[in-house]
Every structure is written in C-alpha cells, then in structure tokens.
Structure 1
Amino acid sequence: MNKEQIIEQLKDIIKPYVQDQSALDSLTEKTDFITDLKINSANLVDVILDIEEKYSIVIDNDSMERMVNVEAAMNIIETKLAEKS
C-alpha cells in the first residue's frame, strides 16, 4: 500500500469528524489533526479507534500520543502493518 492510498483512506476515516471541508480537501502529510482540521481530542480518539478497526492493528499509548498529524498517522499505520506481516 502506497502513501497516496493511505492518505485517501485516512481522509475517509477522518471525514465525519472534520467541520471544515476545505481543510479536508487540502489534506497533506503535514496536516495537523487538531490545529488544521479542528478535530477535538475526544474525536481524535475515535479517529484512532477507526484506524485500528480499518487496518486490524492495535495502536499503543506511545503511538497514540505521537499521532498528531497525517504523516505520523501514516508512519504508525505502516509500522503496525509491517509488524503484522
């Protein structure tokens, strides 16, 4: 799975939690979940749970704390998927 595919899948996952559609449309690896997308911390937990479900992975607390932007989420997803295979 390449980075573009993961970004598209992340967009689908976070879409229900984003108020500003234009921010979602311009999502890049550097997009911050809280600052740029205005996802509150409670919804960020929901995003993480949705990511775990989508990819059948478990995201530990250390990884959760690092998951503040799209790039970090992608790196964590790729790492967890690699550990599974």
Structure 2
Amino acid sequence: MQTKDELIEILKKIVKPYVQDEQAFENVTESTDFLNDLKINSSNLVDIALDVEEEFNIEIDNESMEHMLTVGSAIAIITKKLAEK
C-alpha cells in the first residue's frame, strides 16, 4: 500500500496534463481543489477519474467521482477502493 505522499505524487502525474494553473500545481496539497485551484475543467475530472481507475486498477463509482474534488478527497477515495480489493 502506498503512503499518502506517494499517492499525491502519482495523482500529480495523472492531473498534470489537465492543469491550467501551473503555479498552483507546484504547491499541491491535500486541500488543493481540482476545479478552483488547478483550473481543471469539470469534463476533465471524468478523464482524471478514468486515469486513476487505470493507474490503481480500481473502479470509481459515480457517487465517489462527485466527491473527488480535492487532492485529499481523491486520496481518500483511492485508499478506500484499494482497501476493498
């Protein structure tokens, strides 16, 4: 199982192509908001969720996807899904 820091690094690699605010990306924390801080458009959040599913070999249901708005919430969802495997 990955540490929180490792998950943040993996998540950064996944979201990097969609980021519109490079400065905010340089300072990503658990409270970083994908839409407001990184300026990722909402349709790209679906792409990110699909990339996360592929990277971690997990399935993210629609309800979880709706809550995946910050780095911290994404990590919580990934951790929970990995624990269920």
- TM-score greater than 0.5 by the shorter chain: yes
Distance in 2 (alpha carbons) for counterparts of 1:31 and 1:3 = 14
Deviating runs (4+, > 2 A) in structure 1? none
Q: Percent identity?
A: 58
Letter matched to residue 68 of structure 1? L
CA contact (8 A) 2:21 2:37 kept: no
Distance in 1 (alpha carbons) for counterparts of 2:17 and 2:52 = 13
Letter matched to residue 23 of structure 2? S
Distance in 2 (alpha carbons) for counterparts of 1:50 and 1:57 = 10
Distance in 2 (alpha carbons) for counterparts of 1:19 and 1:32 = 12
* Matched pairs, number: 84
- Structure-2-length-normalised TM-score: 0.96
Q: Structure 1 unaligned segments of length 5 or more: list them.
A: none
Task: Provide the alpha-carbon RMSD of the alignment.
Answer: 0.5
Q: Secondary structure, in 3 states, of the residue corresponding to 1:35?
A: coil
Distance in 1 (alpha carbons) for counterparts of 2:53 and 2:28 = 20
